[in-house]
Structure 1
Amino acid sequence: MANFINLAFTFLMHALLPSLISIIVLLVLHCRKKLRWLYNDDGDDEIVPPGELGLPWIGETIEFYKALQKNRLFEDFIAPRIQKHGKTFKTKLMGCPTIVVNGAEANRFFLSNEFKLVVSSWPSSSVQLMGKNSIMEKTGEKHRLIRSILAPCLGNAGLEALVPKVCEVIKAHLLKNWGGNNNSIITNNGKEKIIPMYKTAKFLTFKVICECLLEMEAKEELFECFERVLEGVFAPLVNVPGTSFWRAKRARAKIEKVLVNVVRNKRKNMEEKQQEFGDESENLSSLLSRLVGALIRGEITEVEVVDNVVLLIFAAHDTTSFAVAMTFKMLAHNPHCYSLLLQEHNDIKANKTKEAENLTMEDVMRMKYTWQVARESIRLCPPIFGSFRRAISDIKFDGFTIPKGWKVLWTAYGTHLSEEYFRDPMRFDPSRFEEPISPYVYVAFGGGPRVCVGYQLAKLNILIFVHLVVTYYNWSLVQPNEPIVMDPLPFPSQGMPIKISPKTC
């Protein structure tokens, strides 16, 4: 028996030892290759950018988030590393080796090569809460299909018919919450009020999307659910009672339940009309009707409709509201700019034949200086600091190699706050936008195939909101030096309270 065991052991060693040695050699070579990529220690021509990887797994994540929370990502994290390593450098964030790129050429290269060299790469918590079936996660033909469904409603032609409706939604809210009467937004007996500007802008943007694009009531309860979800978007993926992600998941489930009912009711109404009047009976001008129309045709699924609605509300209402808040902050700190802006809006209002007559798209197009002010405010305080991509192949850029699978982070700060692109970049100067800005220098709304599909909607919301506030109210900041913090997106730490009083003429 012992001899049999020895014989069997000898046979196994002869048979398996070569395979075992091969596996060990491959593992060693793989590890050496990984270390070569990370530390450039063997003199190979294919080297990654310089930089520091920090602690094991954690990398420089703690420093990154500290800078982010203080709204000093550029000043405290990016700028010192650019000075030390150059505009292209490596780090490690959230367990992933990451290349941070800066400058217009970097923006052009990575944003225009979406789907070819890189793909969008969001944290798992973001994907689960925003929707893994939304356009954010789609690539290639599926991305183009969904974009083609959304784009007609969100471009100038589609939004033109919505201008009066957007005016009515905003005016009704101001009338109810800021004081006024049916002929003009005036009164409260001349008394001053303190209004939370940031939350007002958030809820109004949410209300515009729900009522003007999605044909649904903008309930306060639903709005609060979206706020809860946002708190978990960049939270650790820990689905345990009491955690931010757990609370966000529960809120997301409530939102989904509401939206599924909205989508199914819309589908039922559209199919009934099609049976009664034919395929051309339904007006596909609203975003919801276009999405449901695509659902009926079998182009997309119900889950894709719901996820894209969720993403649209998130992408629009939170970023647009911050842009509105920063526009008013910059105007408060720059009285001369406010005088020029106010004159532009008073001229538009003076051309109206009736009191409280709604704006038209032509009026909105005349707000050229206001849009310069808004763009300059967003340049200095972008609602989204940048975005992560993932390399789908080895990439040659700036004399370096970015290995397949590594993350790439481009930031708006890399051009917005650079002396190379904007003279005296920290100074507020709307006149910078009197002339066209070179492509991929101003990237507040992204670029390439993933350029923000709601860009024109955001512009419309900002301009109409500014017009109605500055023409009917005197206003001032309660806390002119209120800090901006991040959690996870930037916001005024005290909600940006403003003091308002109605104009008497």
Structure 2
Amino acid sequence: MGWPYIGETLQLYSQHPNVFFAAKQKRYGEIFKTNILGCRCVMLASPEAARFVLVTHAHLFKPTYPTSKERLIGPSALFFHQGHYHMRVRKLVQSSLSLDSLRELVPHIQNLALSSMDSWPLNPLTNTFNEMKRFSFEVGILAVFGHLEPPLKEELKKNYSILDRGYNSFPTSIPGTPFKNALLARKRLDKIIRQIICERKEKKLVEKDLLGCLLSWKNENNGEILSDDEISDNIIGVLFAAQDTTASVMTWIVKYLHDDPKLLEAVMAEQKAIHRSNDDGKRPLTWNQTRSMQVTYKVVLESLRMASIISFSFREAVADVEYKGFLIPKGWKAMPLFRNIHHNPDFFPDPQKFNPSRFEVAPKPNTFMPFGSGVHACPGNELAKLEMLIMIHHLVTKFRWEVVGPQCGIQYGPFPVPVNGLPARFWRESQSTS
């Protein structure tokens, strides 16, 4: 269980996560206990165990987060809940991100990708992760609010950035600390969102974006609607979920393509054919074209597997639970280890090799869960994948790049990203070869 209180947290965050988890599994098997972040945990490294906790016996395991995280995002955010309220809000989020809604977002996401990438060649060195965060946050704002006035958007960005910096800091209310600054930024964010809610209500606007879906919900039986508190918390929660995870995967994609010239060539060939069919980029990408990117889509799936941005999920046993003769005591965390499953050679041969062709055959059930599983699986997974496909299209048809500095190494913030955010030099491909 490691040291008192801190347990094995330092071991986990000071080395490659594959090394930590694989060593534990090799020594103890696919079910083992440890102490991470001050929590007593049972870790479960098999597809059957993940399904047990997340799907078939999900009612025995509640989602759990430290109180400090709930304060910064908002206690009404859907991923802190289970039961009727969770299902109601989840359906609203899903309806705002339906395939029909995403189809309409394609040209707008494309415009955001182009404007985000414009500055890359102007910098002597670009922090890839920071740029991907900027892009994914813009997409998040688009999905939540549709088109916002620039001053409002800037205020949202500025305050969200302060909240983001304090999210994983030590939770203290001492003035000037990152956490205290984040709490103050959270209040300002709430005020901005309430201002937008008020304007929508006054103008009686009916929009298909997330805010529109949350505002228009009404219980048919008793006329109940969502409170402004509930709407604000869920908007901040979705903005949080939309940014770092997607940005991390897109950063890894840039690295994986850079490291494999043959694969980059194959992706480039597929994307340049689409580029040519769009009159050399004069016409925008279409939804159907994003659905036809077979080589690129497999690269996205393999990047999700290799990077395993969400290494595990936290659930808490609400009662003593027995699984395969092991007791998971009430109050302990049960943690399905997605990373171990994604890197298990029984399910993915030669798992350390980046090989998109492995997705020519569908993975075995419950062996590929980059967006989680069950009632708490990420409702924005299709938006995230669409974002990645559009980003790759413009990256490989318009740019070339070179990674600068260390070619390997991982850092955490808290999600694993290439060391130093993958510094790279980007330059535009000459018109003659486009």
Question: If the length of structure 1 is used for normalisation, what is the TM-score?
Answer: 0.79
CA contact (8 A) 1:114 1:449 kept: no
SS at match of 2:424: strand
Task: Name the residue aligned to 1:323.
Answer: 249
Q: State whether residues 104 and 440 of structure 1, in contact with CA within 8 Å, keep that contact through their aligned partners in structure 2.
A: yes
1:248 corresponding residue in structure 2: 182
Aligned to 1:92: 35
Instruction: Confirm or deny that 1:202 pairs with 2:133.
Output: yes
AA aligned to 2:192 is V
- 1:8-56 deviation per Cα after TM superposition (whole angstroms, max 9, x unaligned): xxxxxxxxxxxxxxxxxxxxxxxxxxxxxxxxxxxxxxxxxxxxx3334
1:96/1:136 Cα in 2 relative to 1: closer, same or farther (>3 Å)? same
Farther-moved stretch of structure 1 (147-156 vs 348-357)? 348-357
Structure 1 portions without partners, runs of 5+: 1-52, 180-187, 274-281
Question: Separation in 1 of the partners of 2:244 and 2:125?
Answer: 22
Which residue of the partner structure matches residue 232 of structure 1? 166
Q: Over aligned residues, Cα RMSD in angstroms?
A: 2.2
Label 1:354 to 1:298 Cα distance change in 2 as closer, same or farther (>3 A): farther
Query: Separation in 2 of the partners of 1:389 and 1:113?
Result: 14
| Residue 243 of structure 1: how far off its partner (Å) | 3.2
Deviation at 1:212, TM superposition (A): 4.6
Matched with 1:80 is: 23
| Per-residue deviation, residues 354-386 of structure 1 (Å, max 9, x unmatched) | 642111110000112112112212211122221
Deviations 1:207-262 (Å, cap 9, x if unpaired)? 12213541324645533432332333343432222433222212222222211211
Counterpart mapping for 1:139-288 below 5 A: 139-175=82-118, 177-178=119-120, 194-215=125-146, 216-217=148-149, 219-270=153-204, 282=206, 284-288=207-211
Change (3 A) 1:496 1:96: closer
Q: Comparing 93-102 with 415-424, which one deviates more in the overlay?
A: 93-102
* 1:264-413 paired onto structure 2 within 5 Å: 264-270=198-204, 282=206, 284-294=207-217, 298-353=224-279, 355-413=281-339
Give the conservation status (yes or no) of the 8 Å contact 2:33–2:41: yes
Counterparts of 2:265 and 2:290, CA distance in 1: 18
Contact 1:91 1:98 in 2 (8 A): yes
Match of 1:103 among 27, 43, 46: 46
Whole-angstrom CA distance in 1 between matches of 2:59 and 2:344: 28
Shift of 1:135: 0.4
- 3-state SS, counterpart of residue 411 of structure 2: strand
Q: Judging changes above 3 Å, is the alpha-carbon distance between structure 1 residues 229 and 493 closer, same or farther for their aligned structure 2 residues?
A: farther
CA contact (8 A) 1:416 1:441 kept: yes
TM-superposed deviation, 1:501: 2.0
The one-letter amino acid paired with 1:288 is L
User: Which of structures 1 and 2 has the bigger CA Rg?
Assistant: 1
Task: Provide the rounded CA distance (Å) in 2 between the counterparts of 1:425 and 1:373.
Answer: 15
- Matched residue of 1:485: which SS? strand
Q: Contact 2:341 / 2:368 at 8 angstroms: preserved in 1?
A: yes
Alpha-carbon distance in 2 for matches of 1:148, 1:469: 33
Query: Is the Cα–Cα contact under 8 Å of residues 52 and 58 in structure 2 kept in the other structure?
Result: no
Q: Is 2:15 the counterpart of 1:67?
A: no
Shift of the 170–222 alpha-carbon distance from structure 1 to 2, 3 Å rule, reads: same
Distance of aligned partners of 1:67 and 1:98 in 2 relative to their CA distance in 1, 3 Å threshold: closer
Encode CA deviations 1:124-156: one digit per residue, 9 max, x unaligned: 111111211010112111111001111122132
- How far residue 65 of structure 1 moved from its aligned partner, in angstroms, is 3.4
Inter-partner Cα distance in structure 2 for 1:447 and 1:161: 27
Instruction: Please report how far the alpha carbon of residue 409 of structure 1 lies from its aligned counterpart in structure 2 after TM superposition.
Output: 1.4
Look up the equivalent residue of 2:50 and give its one-letter code: N
Q: How far apart are the structure 2 equivalents of 1:95 and 1:209?
A: 32
The corresponding residue for 1:437 is 363
Q: State the distance in 2 between where 1:127 and 1:411 align.
A: 23
What is the CA distance between 1:343 and its match in structure 2? 0.6
In the aligned structure 2, how far is the partner of 1:193 from the partner of 1:74? Answer: 33
Report the number of matched residues. Answer: 425
Name the counterpart of 1:120.
Answer: 63
| Secondary structure of 1:89 counterpart | strand
Cα pair 1:295 1:305 within 8 Å, conserved: no
How far did residue 338 of structure 1 move?
0.6
Distance 1:371 1:383 in 2: 18
Question: Residues 257 and 492 from structure 1, CA distance in 2 versus in 1: closer, same or farther, beyond 3 angstroms?
Answer: farther
How far, CA to CA, are the matches of 1:329 and 1:198 in structure 2? 11
Give ranges in structure 2 of 5+ residues lacking alignment.
none
Q: Is the 8 A contact 2:310 2:339 kept in 1?
A: no
Q: How far, CA to CA, are the matches of 1:295 and 1:352 in structure 2?
A: 43
Deviation at 1:445, TM superposition (A): 0.5
